[in-house]
Structure 1
């Protein structure tokens, strides 16, 4: 069995230009890749330039200067992670409340950092948001840019790890 690529389980810090260039991988489960390396989770930072709040979800665009990343934050408990932690009504209510708190942070013109899963909807890449953090440091966006460039050069653009040699 080939070793698992560490990028598969990490939140890749990506600029919008890199995020929007992710390629859909041909497999049964929807997955995405960057230069042959799997990307399933992403982190982005930028200014909220539009949002549309509905009863079950919040859609917004995050502009980091290199493009706009579509983001969706589910407010409906049916779309929250399915795990034993969400089995009781109290835990479902707590998770829905946390989603409402995150949704309250998304305002036009606000500099935010989001983390979540890379998903596709109707042929458009988006981040299904898990966490939203309002950045108070005016340098946060520039630091995010620098981190993205460094990670791309030192980690993301490296070839995938080779499969181990099979013994006869």
Structure 2
């Protein structure tokens, strides 16, 4: 039991490390030219993969802290995208047990719907509050690219970090909650 709990905490620390690494790489001035294509939101894709595959590894408070830190570092309106991602992870967390028997396409579709909803709600709320925002075209491209990199994060998380779907036997034993 202690071994299982320590493994969960190690994986939470790994998630935090990977999130900080993604933000660090995003902030690096690698090119002085403006980007032609917006980058996909790797942080959201990774978070949704981990929530759907191993919800115990990414508790809501950790997601909230990571996304709020990303909002502050990436100079986005503080808390808005963080709150939307927390809502999205809450929905995916509740939907994850029902997707155990569903295939990858169902998982990817659910993640795509939530990613689209997060970006759409973010844009609508910013428009209601009259906050200046990027043109619609690059945002749509970013949503499509974020959805497109989701399978890559599934492969990376599963094969490199061992973040696999919760099996039925794990759910029967109850798993460890920390």
TM > 0.5:
no
Structure having the higher helix fraction is: 2
TM-score (norm 1): 0.28
Structure having the higher strand fraction is: 1
Higher relative contact order (CA 8 A, sep 6+): 2
